[in-house]
Homo-oligomer: A and B are copies of this chain.
Amino acid sequence: MPGTTADTQSAAYTPTDRTVPTRSAERASYDKELVHAILDEGYVCHLGFVRDGAPVVLPTLYGRVGERLYLHGSTGSRPLRMAGAPDPGLAVCVTVTHVDGLVLARSAFHHSINYRSVVVHGVAHEVTDPEERRLALDTLVDHVVPGRAADSRPANKKELAATAVIRLDLEEVSAKVRTGGANDDPEDLALPHWAGVVPLRKGYEAPVPNADLTSGIEVPDYLTGR
């Protein structure tokens, strides 16, 4: 039943020292449903790891299955090599950000951005189980274009051998959300500057067929509906 202690706990991630912000704490959330929704709306994350003591941040694709994030890449790529054997894996921070609007206040100081972000801290491990690797790779394709994994040629043996998959469990996770208009100080409200929000345009343009596409193959339903 909703409202019981057990349910309340399972519906939220437990805050930690790393996931409690030092400021704008009112924007932070540990709600699993919110975190999942933000993750599922995107497909490009920024993967952070430490190499020779210095931070590295790379954009890469991801997919989610329940409380697991999957990332993949060439077996030759640095972070994927570092996450592989010998375990204990690779300490990572995975961040997903959606920018929703520009917030223009009368004061320069209160200018802001409406956004939704998720930050995941943890240790990523290489996935070696063949079944889980298949699931992860299908998920990565379907995360970008739902329905696409079933409508493409699955990876063959050689491609599978060239692809590393890593998993990051969703345990130490927080979301941060800013919505709404500009929050100017009361004494600035009468200033002659426009204030409000400029929403970002979202979505996709019409699909552009490949030059070498076999004639007669129509744009699939899962693309026309976007």
A105 to B193, CA, bound (A): 49
Report A17 CB to chain B, min CB distance, Å: 9
| A1 contacts chain B at the CB level, 8 A cutoff | no
Residue contact B220 to A194, C-beta cutoff 8 Å: yes
List the B side residues contacting A37 at CB < 8 Å: none
Q: How many of chain A's residues have a CB under 8 angstroms from any CB in B?
A: 95
List the B side residues contacting A9 at CB < 8 Å: none
**Proximity string of chain A (55-74) to chain B, C-beta cutoff 8 Å, 1 when within and 0 when not:** 11111010000000000001
A190 to B216, CA, bound (A): 12
Partner of A108, one of B93, B141, B196: B141
Considering the complex, which residues of chain A in the window 8-57 have a beta carbon less than 8 Å from any beta carbon of chain B? Answer: 18, 22-23, 43-44, 46-51, 53-57
Residue contact B205 to A200, C-beta cutoff 8 Å: yes
A23 to B202, CA, bound (A): 31
A181 to B208, CA, bound (A): 9
Partner of A93, one of B23, B54, B144, B200: B54
Residue contact B95 to A46, C-beta cutoff 8 Å: yes
**Proximity string of chain A (94-116) to chain B, C-beta cutoff 8 Å, 1 when within and 0 when not:** 11010101101111110101010
Residue contact A48 to B55, C-beta cutoff 8 Å: yes
Residue contact A113 to B144, C-beta cutoff 8 Å: yes
A11 to B157, CA, bound (A): 43
Partner of A46, one of B97, B151, B152, B220: B97
Considering the complex, give the chain B residue whose CB is closest to the CB of A47.
B57
| A6 contacts chain B at the CB level, 8 A cutoff | no
User: Can you name 12 A-B pairs with beta carbons within 8 Å?
Assistant: A23-B74, A57-B94, A59-B115, A102-B144, A104-B223, A106-B152, A108-B152, A111-B141, A111-B152, A145-B198, A151-B193, A198-B204
Top 7 A-B pairs ranked by shortest CB distance?
Answer: A48-B57, A48-B55, A46-B46, A59-B97, A57-B95, A199-B205, A195-B210
Known: A50-B54, A108-B137, A199-B206. 13 other contacts (CB 8 A): A46-B46, A48-B57, A53-B91, A54-B93, A108-B155, A109-B159, A111-B152, A193-B217, A194-B223, A196-B213, A197-B207, A198-B208, A201-B205
